[in-house]
Amino acid sequence: MEFITGLYLFVIIISIYLYSIFLLLLFKNRKELFNYNLSKENLPTVSILIPVYNEEKTIAGTINSVLNLDYPKDKIEIIVLNDGSTDNTERIARSFKEIKVITKPNSGKADSLNYGINIAKNEFIAAVDADCYHEKDALLKVINCFKEDPNIEAVTSAVRVKNQEKLLGKLQFIEYTLISWARKLLEFINSVYVTPGPLSVYRKSTLKKLGGFDKNNMTEDIELAWRILRNNHKIKMCLSAKVYTVVPEKFSKWWHQRLRWDIGGLQTFSKHKDTLGKTKYGMLGVWVAPFYLSSFILALLGFIVALYIIGGRIISKILLYFYSINTNSFTLEFKYLNLTPSIFTIFGLLLITIYLIYITFGLKMMDPGKIPTHRKFTLLVYMFFYLILYPLVFIQSLYLFFMNKTIKW
Amino acid sequence: MVVQKDVFWKAAIITAIVFILGVLLGYFMESSRIDNIREEYKTVEVEWADAKLQSTYFQILNPKFCDIAIKENLNFADRVYEEGLKIERYENANKLNNDNQLLYEKQRYALFKIEFWLNSIYLKDKCKANYTNVVYFYLDKPSLIEKPKQETISLILRDLKNKYGQQIMLIPIPLDLDIATVNVIKTTYNISIVPTILIGEKNKLEDTHTIEEIEQAIKNAM
């Protein structure tokens, strides 16, 4: 057996295992995925922190969305943390009389949130990004999740895509939908490894005890979630609490955002690598850290295998056509293709089938009804083009991470 | 909120079952292809023995043996050529079995082709036959650069064979299967570059050439 065949089969085994876990979790918990509680009894007080930096286009929408939340007004305080914006963000924020606006020198999102935690008066802290729009009942659903278990220290929400006009937005709609769905499944093994910015709520006491957000990490929301898990606490995901976020519409911005995510992920893994395989750190040690590591390894190995197999064939075909043209014998005929199936074909088709089942379930459960035709087309682009970009971004992130280079927010 | 750790071992069992079934299916497919090649080889072996015996028979008992012998030779040529392509196709798709599992079959087919080439030379001389031997020397395991060159020449020769039919006796011979006779041929014709085309045992074309150049060389030898 060739080395590349062994590598391919290894990637296949790990992929089948990961998808089996997700599918088992789905079938076991399918009736509980969208459970929520809208009770208004014994609601705790919440401080909503909105860190902003040059968000003049979106801040008003976000503040309006937060003001319209279906939650007792006497139990929430809204604090906009203006992180040294140089545009009209502060002026727009101050036009809302119901909220507090704190202006401070620019020091980054994590530091702004830590500042907010220190001045917040309430029992719970809701971190909200400045380009997000919440469904009215989102906070109520999230807060009620804390009542299920006193060891739940953070609850996060389903982040959906607001701007879906362009292809990149449509692709990210699928991606965000599947991410939310997968994150919910991970909750059943206490492995929600990120509390994303659009809406995540924490117990203030826990944030204080853990020392708040890590201002040196580029994805402070991933790092904090890892620290919560490291201390054997639980994080819950409320799939029915929906928040709509504005995603990048330009490829360069998308790439930049993903670099930041990947570098932040690597920083987080590097900080918590001591937990790898250790049961005393709960699911972080035995599952989240290995899962995170294996995802990156899989992406890289998958890319190498694909590059070797597909890249080799492409080079060979280009050279073939080059020689064919030079010898005046240009031939492109179907009969010359080798269509004899191999083990690569069997497992490749199997994996595509498993993945199709997985994403079809995901999309159908998140948005019940028939998947529209345009989304089926986007799905194909997502599967066969968009996902290929992941390892490419990761390779550059690895380089930047090891060269100790950071990128701006 | 109960952590459902049982999914880990259940997923491991599912993975093991799916993976083992997939590998078994792969092995079964590959083995059946190899068996298929071996079965067909037995048939070709009998056909070749039959063709040789016919030649001998006609040489000893019937002086007008040429037409039948040439026809048998040409039929056999086509058969061996098709089998060679099938082996190549199967070999590319076989990933689990030992890389050298088909080496023996390939060596035997290479020997057939050499024997057949020599028979073609003999028949051409004896019967003043109206065909040209086009021997195509290639590598069984070419490099990334050599492979497309070989494929180009192979496609050109296939097209010319389709065009000229039985006027061309196309005989592809691999140079890297560790066969002593092949080494002798390499030395005799001073073959050091792949692909190389030997037309009518005299004219040698090395590396890539245009379809027109190859066609002209064949026409000149006819």
> Across the interface, which of A17, A342, A343 has its CB nearest the CB of B15?
A17
Q: What is the pLDDT of residues A369-393, one digit of tens each?
A: 777 888 888 999 998 899 889 889 9
Q: How many domains does chain A have?
A: 1
User: Tell me, what CATH number does A142's domain have?
Assistant: 3.90.550.10
Contacts of A5 in chain B (CB under 8 A): 95-96
Going by C-alpha positions, the residue among A285, A287, A272, A290 that lies closest to residue A188 is: A287
Q: At which residue do the structure tokens 């979790």 appear?
A: A25
> For residue A10, is it within any domain?
no
- What is the C-alpha to C-alpha distance for residues A163 and B220, in angstroms, rounded to an integer? 70
Q: Note which residues in 184-213 of chain B have CB less than 8 A from chain A.
A: 208-212
Check whether residue B163 and residue B145 sit in a common domain: yes
* Probe site for chain B from A11, A20, A309 (most B CB atoms < 10 A): A20
- What is the C-alpha to C-alpha distance for residues A229 and A155, in angstroms, rounded to an integer? 12
For residue B163, count CB atoms less than 10 angstroms from its CB and return exposed for 0-12, middle for 13-18, buried for 19 or more: exposed
Residue at a domain's end among B129, B161, B176: B129
A300 touches chain B (CB under 8 A): no
**Lowest-confidence pick of A153-167, A247-261, A288-302, B54-68:** B54-68
Check whether residue B1 and residue B94 sit in a common domain: yes
pLDDT over 80 (residue A215): yes
Residue at a domain's end among B129, B160, B176: B129
Check whether residue B112 and residue B32 sit in a common domain: yes
Q: Note which residues in 5-24 of chain A have CB less than 8 A from chain B.
A: 5, 9, 12-13, 16-17, 20-21, 24
CA distances in angstroms from B62 to A171, A268, B74, listed in the order given: 78, 89, 20
Q: How sure is the predictor about A129, in pLDDT bands with cuts at 50, 70 and 90? A: very high
Please report the pLDDT score of residue A336 as a whole number. 53
pTM of the model: 0.79
Is A157 or B145 the better-scoring residue by pLDDT?
A157
Please report the pLDDT score of residue A332 as a whole number. 56
Check whether residue B110 and residue B20 sit in a common domain: yes
Please report the pLDDT score of residue A196 as a whole number. 93
**Lowest-confidence pick of A106-120, A186-200, A299-313, B172-186:** A299-313
Q: How sure is the predictor about A406, in pLDDT bands with cuts at 50, 70 and 90? A: low
Check whether residue B164 and residue B68 sit in a common domain: no
Check whether residue B98 and residue B18 sit in a common domain: yes
Partners of residue B168 on adjacent β-strands: B132
Domain that holds residue B162: 130-222
- Which residue in A has a C-alpha nearest to residue B98's C-alpha? A1
Please report the pLDDT score of residue A289 as a whole number. 94
- The dihedral region occupied by A336, where left means phi > 0, alpha psi between -120 and 50, and beta the remainder, is alpha
In degrees to the nearest 10, what's the CA dihedral of A63, A69, A72, A76?
-40
Q: How sure is the predictor about A344, in pLDDT bands with cuts at 50, 70 and 90? A: confident
Please give the structure tokens belonging to residue B146: 């050599």
Please report the pLDDT score of residue B101 as a whole number. 67
Residue at a domain's end among B87, B108, B129: B129
Q: What is the DSSP letter of A198?
A: T
> Across the interface, which of A152, A324, A343 has its CB nearest the CB of B1?
A152
pLDDT over 60 (residue A240): yes
Check whether residue B138 and residue B72 sit in a common domain: no
Please report the pLDDT score of residue A96 as a whole number. 94
Please report the pLDDT score of residue A6 as a whole number. 81
Please report the pLDDT score of residue B99 as a whole number. 58
Would you write out chain B's pLDDT as a tens digit for each of its 222 residues? Answer: 677 889 999 999 999 999 999 888 888 888 888 888 788 778 877 877 877 777 777 777 766 667 777 777 777 777 777 777 777 777 767 766 665 667 887 888 888 889 888 888 888 887 777 889 999 999 988 888 888 888 888 888 888 888 888 888 888 999 988 889 999 999 999 998 889 999 988 899 998 888 889 999 998 887
User: Tell me, what CATH number does B186's domain have?
Assistant: 3.40.30.10
Contacts of A316 in chain B (CB under 8 A): 144, 147-148
Q: How sure is the predictor about A220, in pLDDT bands with cuts at 50, 70 and 90? A: very high
Q: How sure is the predictor about A330, in pLDDT bands with cuts at 50, 70 and 90? A: low
pLDDT over 60 (residue A361): yes
Please report the pLDDT score of residue B220 as a whole number. 87
Check whether residue B96 and residue B144 sit in a common domain: no
B204 sits in which H/E element: strand B203-206
User: In angstroms, how far is the first alpha carbon of chain B from the final one?
Assistant: 86
Contacts of B33 in chain A (CB under 8 A): 340
Please report the pLDDT score of residue A182 as a whole number. 92
Å from B93 to nearest chain A CA? 5
Check whether residue B121 and residue B14 sit in a common domain: yes
Check whether residue B158 and residue B111 sit in a common domain: no
ipTM comes to: 0.82
Cβ <8 Å between A16 and B18: yes
pLDDT over 70 (residue A334): no
B145 touches chain A (CB under 8 A): yes
Is B55 or A126 the better-scoring residue by pLDDT?
A126
Please report the pLDDT score of residue A103 as a whole number. 95
Mean predicted lDDT score pLDDT of chain A: 90
Q: Which residues contact B135 (CB under 8 A, 6 or more apart)?
A: B117, B171, B172, B173, B197, B198, B199, B201
Please report the pLDDT score of residue A161 as a whole number. 94
Q: How many domains does chain B have?
A: 2
Domain that holds residue A199: 32-271
Å from B156 to nearest chain A CA? 7
Q: Residue A271 CA to chain centroid, in angstroms?
A: 19
Å from B205 to nearest chain A CA? 13
Check whether residue B68 and residue B91 sit in a common domain: yes
pLDDT over 60 (residue A49): yes
Check whether residue B150 and residue B214 sit in a common domain: yes
